[in-house]
Amino acid sequence: MAHRMASSDSFTTKPEWAGDLPPWLAEDYTKLCHLHRDQHLPHALLLAGSSGIGKHQLALAFASSMLCTHAEKVCGDCHSCKLWAAGNHPDFWHLQPEEGKQVISIDQVRSLLEFAYKTPQIAAQKAIVVWPADLMNRNAANALLKCLEEPPPSTQFVLSSANPGRLPATIRSRCQVVRVSEPDDQQAQQWLRGCGLDEELAQQYLQLSSGQPLLALEQGEQLLKMNQALAAAMQMAVSSRASIVQLTKPLLSFEIKSLFDAYLRLLSAIVRGKLGGASLAPEERPAWLKTAEQDWDVRKLLEHAQFVQNTLKSIHAGSHFNDQLILEDLFIRLALCTQQD
């Protein structure tokens, strides 16, 4: 079911309630609700923490609790809760990149500001969730800053970001930062098994998602296919068994940011193995990799890893690349990471 903004625009996040939250977020949710009940909340919160742990879900669940007319907990039965469940609450605004876009634009923030300065229609206050907050472009962030500096009455902002350092310092200084709890490996695997995955898949998907349980649940199967395609491309690159164009072609069906995330994970594990640290699990280390590792130069691999990290930062920042060309460049550089000069 899709929520609907206070305006006529829709967005595709399903309604969240406290009961939908992963167990490791229960304490954070309770603390936020107590602050709200005791009227100790600042006008703006910034939920910060790793990707894929449920910050966005926490922000939405907390927004639903603020809008409920019940004093102690979300009732689910009042008029406000029914509007929330229908995805059509007039006192709630959800700001995120428009479909197909990489950033939150100033026009989106301007629409938000019109809403922010209106009087609540049903609830005692308005709730605004901004996610991911670090995707606001500079003009959008500056526009929101003016509102945070002179906050409208009866309005609660909840920003969420896995990369709060990318937000302007002026935005961060106007928010109270809340570090969202992260699950340990056992909690994450148990939760994934409770969602229907068997033990082996839960462990495998969690590993492929770099310990991000929500990402593992939503995209685990896709991540597994992508990881296999990447490993095959790496094998062909280091063995010169195919042209660069041929080996990158199967990868073009995957999202470029996810590809670089997965590639960096594989590369980092290989570097750790070369340095004598924890590498890939034995079942993840095919025979070709054991042979190739002997030929790779650690210094060149580290330089290559830095290139991947810098490219990934640019991708996260919204820079546009030709996917085919950037992948070809990636594997040409990998092939050069041998000990022979």
Which residues, including other chains, have CB under 8 Å from residue 17's CB and lie 6 or more apart? 61, 64, 74, 76
Q: What is the pLDDT of residues 116-134, one digit of tens each?
A: 999 999 999 999 999 999 9
Mean pLDDT of 151-180: 96
Distance between CA atoms of residues 269 and 278, nearest Å: 7
Mean pLDDT, the chain, as a whole number? 86
Domain span at residue 63 reads: 18-182
Q: Are residues 176 and 207 in the same domain?
A: no
Q: How much is the pLDDT for 148?
A: 97
The domain boundary, picked from 166, 182, 198, lies at: 182
Q: Count structural domains, the chain.
A: 2
Least confident window among 41-55, 182-196, 315-329: 315-329
pLDDT in tens, 214-265: 999 999 999 999 988 998 888 888 777 678 888 899 999 999 988 998 899 8
Claim to verify: residue 216 and residue 192 sit in the same structural domain: yes
Mean of pLDDT values over 139-163? 96
Cβ–Cβ under 8 Å, residues 97 and 156: no
| 148, 196: one domain | no
Does 277 score more than 80 pLDDT? no
Mean pLDDT of 26-36: 94
Q: What percent of the chain has pLDDT over 70?
A: 87
Q: Are 220 and 199 in contact (CB under 8 A)?
A: no
Look at residues 182, 207, 222 and tell me which one is the last residue of a structural domain: 182
DSSP string, 183-220: --HHHHHHHHHHTT--HHHHHHHHHHTTT-HHHHHHHH
On whether both 161 and 197 belong to a single domain, the answer is no
Residue 28 falls inside a structural domain: yes
Q: Under a CB-based contact definition with an 8 Å cutoff, are residues 263 and 307 in contact?
A: no
Q: How far is CA 116 from CA 7, 110, 126, 137, 139, in A?
A: 12, 10, 8, 19, 18
Distance of CA 152 to the CA centre of its chain: 29
159 & 194 share domain: no
Point out the least confidently predicted range of 99-103, 313-317, 330-334: 313-317
Same domain, 201 and 255: yes
Q: Contact at 8 Å (CB) between 52 and 121?
A: no
- C-beta neighbour count of 25 within 10 angstroms: 24
Would 149 be classed as within a structural domain?
yes
**Which residue is it, tokens 């409770």?**
194
**The dihedral sign for the CA sequence 181, 182, 187, 193:** positive
198 and 176 part of one domain: no
Q: pLDDT at position 1, please?
A: 29
Confirm whether 341 is domain-assigned. Answer: no
In this prediction, residues 277-281 reach a mean pLDDT of 54
Per-residue model confidence (pLDDT) at position 274: 76
Let me know if residue 63 belongs to a domain. yes
Domain identity same for 105 and 202: no
Q: Is the model's pLDDT at 15 over the cut of 80?
A: no
| Residue at 13 is within a domain | no
Confidence of residue 89 (pLDDT cuts 50, 70, 90): very high
Taking residues 302-322, report their average pLDDT: 88
Residue 6 lies in a domain: no
Q: What is the pLDDT of residue 19?
A: 64
CA-to-CA distance for 10 and 17, rounded, in angstroms?
19
Of 182, 206, 239, the position where a domain reaches its end is 182
Cα(208)–Cα(45) distance, integer angstroms: 31
Q: What was the pLDDT predicted at 290?
A: 64
Phi and psi (nearest 5°) for 161? -160, 140
Residue 12 has pLDDT above 80, yes or no: no
Lowest mean pLDDT among 46-50, 148-152, 160-164, 223-227: 223-227
Is the same domain home to 244 and 121? no
In CATH, what number is assigned to the domain containing residue 268? 1.20.272
- Token pair in block for residue 338: 């041998």
In a domain, 9, yes or no: no
Greater model confidence, 141 or 101: 141
- In-domain check, residue 190: yes
How far apart are the C-alpha atoms of 176 and 100, rounded to whole Å?
Answer: 31
Query: 198 falls in which pLDDT band (50, 70, 90)?
Result: very high
Q: Are residues 27 and 130 in the same domain?
A: yes
Whichever domain contains 75, its CATH number is 3.40.50.300
- Phi and psi, residue 180, nearest 5°: -80, 135
Question: Are 23 and 141 part of one and the same domain?
Answer: yes
List, edge to edge, every strand of the sheet that includes 176-179.
Answer: 92-95, 126-130, 155-161, 44-48, 176-179
Judge if 331 and 317 occupy the same domain: yes
